[in-house]
Structure 1
Amino acid sequence: MTQSVVVQVGQCGNQVGCRFWDLALREHAAVNKKGIYDEALSSFFRNVDTRSGGDSPDIYKGKICSLKARALLIDMEEGVVNEILQGPLRDVFDSKQLITDVSGSGNNCTFHIFRAVGHKLYGCRYRENIVEKLRKTAEHCDCLQCFFIIHSMGGGTGSGLGTFVLNLLEDEFPEVYRFVTSVYPSGEDDVITSPYNSVLAMRELNEHADCVLPIENESLFDIVNKIHQMTSSGKLGSTVKQNSLVTSSANSTKAVQEKPFDAMNNIVANLLLNLTSSARFEGSLNMDLNEISMNLVPFPRLHYLVSSLTPLYTLADVNVPSRKLDQMFSDAFSRDHQLIQADPKHSLYLACALLVRGNVQVSDLRRNIERLKPSLHFVSWNQEGWKTGLCSVPPVGHSHSLLALANNTCVKPTFIELKDRFMKLYKKKAHLHHYLHIDGMEQSCFAEAVSSLSDLIEEYNELDATKNEPRTDPPRLKIAV
């Protein structure tokens, strides 16, 4: 059994990560009712003998002593991490695997805004500490397969220190896959320099990540509103149940309105739950994490995978009759179910993966792929570019769910909009002085970052230009006689 480590960076990364661990424990508890430490748990948790503090998978004949998440929590403000350590999951995290700044950087209002502080200043200051804790976490793994980094793109710690950690992982663990879940800011983001932070971070993602799952705050907010509208209008004939998967402590639909960020974080956590389900549970057609990178990323830089979750009400934990299975597959390709503002069905696919959980047969997968293929545009050289996974364990309380991951040119408008917002500030040299006073930050860093983003957009443009070309058979090897 392989293991993976989650690296949570910044406020957003730690809040999303906290929800992932909470929901993962729920799923394992629903399956592992006897409390036995098994291979499924070992993929993301280690078993610790609390009497000695050491890993002891065999103590008490396999009984769980104390589960510790395979996680590293990093934030230069202590607030969110302290809140986690005082909450119900406090015993899940090893106190030795936390990194916060003790100098009180939370009092520095510019830290939230300027990525240079996170990447250059705090990255250098905490480099050895981060490397030491990463190595310690890796030592607890028998077969380390993947690092998951969760961070935001707009703030200081998430964009700056998050991508700094990404670089460290490539240097220290070059053979281990690096999956990055990046939350992109909306156009109305309250951090005025978030376009700078995001474009500077994009360059690091282009160069050092194996797969990036871009998530847009605006899409998450739309999904939460849609769920609220469905439940409050009575169309589903039900309300959100207590302890909903969308809200951390929802007792009514009113809580969805009052705490939208909790609901948004839980959607991202559900994405990660579905992505890792095959690594955590058995299935008739399990998809290994390395298969995602190998099958969905034909070009190294074009590793941005657009994700969609369906049914939406699965996320809301709503009591409704199971929706028709075929409709679930159709929804996965509709605009309303994407976690970025995109329309993959009318853009060009390089490849697509379907990760299905629950009471679904391989024949159902094949039938729906054949049904949907005529309406989807795949590149001419990868017309059969489908990868499928089938995990037998569904989300808690539901019969099935589907996560679709698409390497699709529909991600391009997100990058174009980000570049446009960047250029509006950069042309005026607005706020640049806040970055340039940091050692190691020069104006050339901005020019190189926007050039890297422009090159990425151009690569997608070149692919889009082939969309209407007729399908051609690949060239065959000719033998001279």
Structure 2
Amino acid sequence: MTQSVVVQVGQCGNQIGCRFWDLALREHSHVNKKGLYDEALGSFFRNVDSRKRDGGACSVGGRIQYLKARAVLVDMEEGVVNEILQGPLREVFDSTQLLTGVSGSGNNWAAGHMTYGSVYREQIVDKLRKAAEHCDCLQCFFLIHSMGGGTGSGLGTRVLSLLEEEFPDVCRIVTAIYPSAEDDVITSPYNSVLAMRELTEHADCVLPVENQSLVDIVDKIKRMSHVGKPGAAIKRNSAIISGQGGLSGAERPFDAMNNIVANLLLNITSSSRFEGSLNMDLNEIAMNLVPFPRLHYLVPSLTPLYTLADVDVPTRRLDQMFSDAFSKDHQLIRADPKHSLYLACALMVRGNVHVSDLRRNIERLKPSLPFVSWNQEGWKTGMCSVPPVGHSHSLLALANSTCVKPTFMELRDRFTKLYRKKAHLHHYLHVDGMEQSVFSEAIGSLGSLIEEYHRLDATKSRLMPDAARLSIAR
């Protein structure tokens, strides 16, 4: 049995992680009615009650004092972690898994990466080692952090480099939350570009998620829920609309957005947690979807994003799910997949879906999805028999495609506008160990990455037959 460890860094990382653990427990309790500690639970939870190591009853819903999440929580402010410890999930974590500070990183990548990264290095490594020692067969580290703030971007990417140093053979999958153009952190372009260099150098896979895309999806769900037409009501008790989740109190503005990212993690880990006819090993994601080491940014698409309350799921709706996965409305970054070149693509299906459904839809979609000439059959598929709570089936698509290029170009432009005026630069250069050359190297790394995608895009027109070009033009 393989296990994975989730590392949550910063306010955003810990809030998303909290939603993931809440929804994961809901899924396991939905399937595991008697609360037995089994192999599925063991993939992301460990049993700390010696009386129950042989498969005795172990509470999954309600009180969960016998389960500890395979997680490390890091934040340089105490607020979110303290809130988690006072909420329904307080029993899932213990003090050996937590590392908090009191002052925060002041929205400064350098403070998070260099100052706190140095001060807390040994403590972070110690907690990572302890988490790894609790695993019989450690398969993957999932790192969750934001790109725009100081702790998430700075300390988050320092943790990433420590993971590579300490566990070079263990896969590192990063879920990185990118700020919107209207982000209220004025220095977020600096933080994001500085973090991008670290992600490009030290991650095996990065799942980029844009805040603005999450806002758009949540707004669409709200509009759907207020339509009032027969058959258009949103089903409330589903994995996406999860009620209050792991944090205490009423639903908050960011909870719905965090839920979507938590569902991305639920889907990508489903084959590790449950049985399926075509399980996909987490290591296979990087092995099959990343032909070039630096081009490891995998665009996630999630469908369905909501469930209609009184609609059954005939074949037509199943086929629509596959079509939705390749539409910009279901992508977690704002980009148009129809005008990009694919290096590879993974389809991770959950629920009552047959292999024939999978093959039929791949064949149907192929003509309109241009793949590089040397990887025309670059599809990786996984099937998990357990659907998300409240759904009959779901699909996560992970596309290694050039559609990430506009997102990175926009980020470069926002960085350049600040950097050209040297605005706020002194806040970074006052940090011990931070030099202006670090900025030059970071923007150079991003420019090189964009150029690699651009060269691939330049080959697209001669790869596509006329029929496919017409299809995409429509």
Q: Which bracket does the TM-score occupy, shorter chain normalised?
A: over 0.9
Question: CA shift at 1:260, angstroms?
Answer: 3.0
Q: Aligned residue for 1:67? A: 67
Q: Aligned residue for 1:478? A: none
For 2:176, the aligned partner's letter is S
Unaligned 5+ segments in structure 2 are: 60-64, 466-474
Q: Aligned residue for 1:475? A: none
Q: Distance in 2 between matches of 1:277 and 1:60?
A: 21
Q: Aligned residue for 1:89? A: 89
Q: Distance in 2 between matches of 1:401 and 1:279?
A: 16
Q: Aligned residue for 2:312? A: 321
Asked if the contact 1:296–1:352 (Cα under 8 Å) also holds between the matched residues in 2, the reply is yes
Q: Distance in 2 between matches of 1:400 and 1:243?
A: 15
Q: Which residue, out of 143, 149, 154, partners 2:143?
A: 149
Asked if the contact 1:47–1:56 (Cα under 8 Å) also holds between the matched residues in 2, the reply is no
- Secondary structure (helix, strand or coil) at the match of 2:398 reads strand
Matches within 5 A, 1:400-415: 400-415=393-408
Does 1:162 find its partner at 2:156? yes
Question: CA shift at 1:63, angstroms?
Answer: 4.3
Render the CA deviation track for 1:283-302: whole Å, top value 9, x for unaligned: 00000101110000000000
For 1:193, the aligned partner's letter is T
Report the CA distance shift for 1:237/1:438 in structure 2 as closer, same or farther (over 3 A).
Answer: same
- Secondary structure (helix, strand or coil) at the match of 1:214 reads strand
Asked if the contact 1:296–1:407 (Cα under 8 Å) also holds between the matched residues in 2, the reply is yes
Report the CA distance shift for 1:471/1:241 in structure 2 as closer, same or farther (over 3 A).
Answer: closer
For 2:311, the aligned partner's letter is V
Q: Aligned residue for 2:175? A: 181
Render the CA deviation track for 1:435-466: whole Å, top value 9, x for unaligned: 00111100000000000000000000000000
Give the percent of matched residue pairs that are identical in Structure 1 and Structure 2: 76
Q: Aligned residue for 1:12? A: 12
Does 1:461 find its partner at 2:462? no
Does 1:261 find its partner at 2:259? no
Does 1:213 find its partner at 2:213? no
For 1:372, the aligned partner's letter is L
Report the CA distance shift for 1:91/1:318 in structure 2 as closer, same or farther (over 3 A).
Answer: farther
Q: Distance in 2 between matches of 1:151 and 1:247?
A: 22
For 2:312, the aligned partner's letter is P
RMSD between aligned residues: 1.9
Report the CA distance shift for 1:79/1:428 in structure 2 as closer, same or farther (over 3 A).
Answer: same
Question: CA shift at 1:468, angstroms?
Answer: 1.5
Question: CA shift at 1:391, angstroms?
Answer: 0.4
Matches within 5 A, 1:6-155: 6-49=6-49, 58-59=53-54, 61=56, 63=58, 66-101=66-101, 104-106=102-104, 111-155=105-149
Q: Which residue, out of 429, 437, 441, partners 2:434?
A: 441
- Secondary structure (helix, strand or coil) at the match of 2:173 reads strand
For 2:47, the aligned partner's letter is N
Q: Aligned residue for 2:468? A: none
Asked if the contact 2:187–2:424 (Cα under 8 Å) also holds between the matched residues in 1, the reply is yes
Unaligned 5+ segments in structure 1 are: 50-54, 473-481
Matches within 5 A, 1:371-450: 371-450=364-443
- Secondary structure (helix, strand or coil) at the match of 1:467 reads coil
Report the CA distance shift for 1:235/1:260 in structure 2 as closer, same or farther (over 3 A).
Answer: farther
Q: Distance in 2 between matches of 1:12 and 1:298?
A: 30
- Secondary structure (helix, strand or coil) at the match of 1:351 reads strand
Q: Distance in 1 between matches of 2:459 and 2:203?
A: 26
Q: Distance in 2 between matches of 1:58 and 1:269?
A: 28
Instruction: Report the TM-score, using the length of structure 1 for normalisation.
Output: 0.91
For this pair of structures, how many residues does the alignment match? 455
Q: Distance in 2 between matches of 1:325 and 1:90?
A: 38
- Secondary structure (helix, strand or coil) at the match of 1:313 reads coil
For 2:76, the aligned partner's letter is M
For 1:320, the aligned partner's letter is V
Instruction: Report the TM-score, using the length of structure 2 for normalisation.
Output: 0.93
Matches within 5 A, 1:177-326: 177-235=171-229, 237=231, 239-242=233-236, 245-249=239-243, 259-314=252-307, 318-322=309-313, 324-326=317-319
Q: Distance in 1 between matches of 2:241 and 2:212?
A: 17
For 2:239, the aligned partner's letter is L
Asked if the contact 1:230–1:236 (Cα under 8 Å) also holds between the matched residues in 2, the reply is no
- Secondary structure (helix, strand or coil) at the match of 1:80 reads helix
Task: Indicate the larger mover: 295-304 or 318-327.
Answer: 318-327
Asked if the contact 2:3–2:138 (Cα under 8 Å) also holds between the matched residues in 1, the reply is yes
Render the CA deviation track for 1:221-258: whole Å, top value 9, x for unaligned: 0000111111111246354455553455369xxx99x7
Q: Distance in 1 between matches of 2:196 and 2:153?
A: 9
Asked if the contact 1:242–1:250 (Cα under 8 Å) also holds between the matched residues in 2, the reply is no
- Secondary structure (helix, strand or coil) at the match of 2:386 reads coil
Q: Distance in 2 between matches of 1:226 and 1:313?
A: 10
For 2:21, the aligned partner's letter is W
Question: CA shift at 1:335, angstroms?
Answer: 1.0
- Secondary structure (helix, strand or coil) at the match of 2:135 reads coil
Render the CA deviation track for 1:379-415: whole Å, top value 9, x for unaligned: 1111110000010000112210000000000000000
Report the CA distance shift for 1:98/1:441 in structure 2 as closer, same or farther (over 3 A).
Answer: same
